[in-house]
Structure 1
Amino acid sequence: MRKAGTIMVAAVAAVALGACSPSTEEPSDQPPGSDPTPTHIAQSSGASEEPDRTEGSVTTSPGDQGPECTAEDIEVSGEFGAKPEITIPGNCAPPSELLTEDLSEGDGPEITQGSQVEMDYLLLTWADRQEKDTSFGKQPFALTVGNGEVISGWDEGLLGLKEGGRRLLVVPADMAYGNQPNHPLAQDTLVFVVDAVSVSG
């Protein structure tokens, strides 16, 4: 298990759109999460009654309660470039603000507004602890940060990450798909682990 770095809690911002690419081996111009039904991942009907840990996802008993979780409460294992495993606790509530935590420090260029980046990512939804989308083992997802190509939780949460670094992002619904009421993830808090594969500009 690897957990390191600093926690940055960012104020909720209102920008729009996407964060998790369609499930094909071909590059996509769609932002991650924009495919409402990823073909490589079955939609989950909810958390199972017994914990059922699988690679890239964790299912725990329902009943998020207590204080809001922090980034430190979420466990992530795996090295940069490898598909991570994420454990979301069941004894605290999903956060209402964007959380970020650097899991490994990169040594390349730093992501700033307007940076052109390629990212690998894994997405879980808080409510059912199930994997919804990933680029690991496929094409990294390309975007220009700060252009509104993706959800605001990405545009804000990627800032400061360096090429070669891995970061945890926990994105509340109002910084994800909350402004798209017909989106299947409109009410969900989204949990990403992202790797900065390349950064330029």
Structure 2
Amino acid sequence: MRRSGQSHHEPDEEEFDTMRFLPRRALWRLCACITPLLALTAAAFAGPAALAQDNAPQLEETSIVKTPEQRGREYMAKNAEREGVVTTESGLQYEVLKSGDGETPGRRDQVSVHYRGTFIDGRVFDSSIERRQPAQFRVNGVIPGWTEALLQMRVGDRWRLVIPPQLAYGEAGAADIIGPNETLVFEVELLAIL
């Protein structure tokens, strides 16, 4: 109640709401953060049948989290269906993009290659092609998936490799660039045996 002679004072947004003992701005922020969390929690307990149709896509994106291994297995299963893709006993997949007529290297041979390495979503993590500098290394000095492929390639071949984690960098990943258990895709061209 207002006494006469006093002006009516409208509380600004920083004043405390006496009913809640928090600044109104803080209450709005709190509600904005909690509302989506409550919706996700309710959906988790209610099960998929209880999800509202218009909320389903948003909840699906946030509630279904696949591991790198799961995403890799799905990618490799789809890739295996493509024409020209060969899956070896070890799980390596390769596709011959261009056939060469040169020699095949041995395990201890030094080779020169051009390559582009990507994640299964297409993001490039390394590329000798973009650096315009072929890589040189010993065939048995690289990840097992590369070694297996190089031992079957001829000089002049260009292959697309899909390498599962156990033939790549496994649980350790590599240099804060490649996470644990990532399936990797490489386009490799064998330029020369040195």
Aligned residue identity for 2:151: L
Determine the structure 2 residue equivalent to 1:173: 165
The answer to whether 1:157 aligns with 2:149 is yes
Determine the structure 1 residue equivalent to 2:65: none
Structure 1's consecutive aligned runs of 4 or more residues displaced over 6 angstroms after TM superposition are none
Unaligned runs of 5+ residues in structure 1 are: 1-48, 50-61, 76-95
Question: In proportion to residue count, which structure has more strand?
Answer: 1
Higher relative contact order (CA 8 A, sep 6+): 1
User: Does the CA-based 8 Å contact 2:172-2:181 persist in structure 1?
Assistant: no
Deviation track 1:5-45 (CA, whole Å, cap 9, x = no partner) reads xxxxxxxxxxxxxxxxxxxxxxxxxxxxxxxxxxxxxxxxx
Determine the structure 2 residue equivalent to 1:117: 111
**Map of 1:13-162 to 2, 5 A cutoff?**
65=74, 68-71=77-80, 73=82, 97-126=91-120, 128-137=121-130, 138-146=132-140, 149-162=141-154
User: Which has the larger displacement, 111-120 or 186-195?
Assistant: 111-120
Offset, 1:111: 2.2
- 3-state secondary structure, aligned to 1:169: strand
Q: For the residues of structure 2 that align with 1:69 and 1:193, how far apart are their CA atoms?
A: 18
Larger Rg: 2
Equivalent residues, number: 117
Determine the structure 2 residue equivalent to 1:198: 192
Question: In proportion to residue count, which structure has more helix?
Answer: 2
Offset, 1:190: 0.3
Deviation track 1:118-147 (CA, whole Å, cap 9, x = no partner) reads 010011101x3211110014211111112x
Percent identical pairs in the alignment equals 34
User: Which has the larger displacement, 181-190 or 98-107?
Assistant: 181-190
Unaligned runs of 5+ residues in structure 2 are: 1-60, 62-70, 85-89
Q: For the residues of structure 2 that align with 1:193 and 1:182, how far apart are their CA atoms?
A: 19
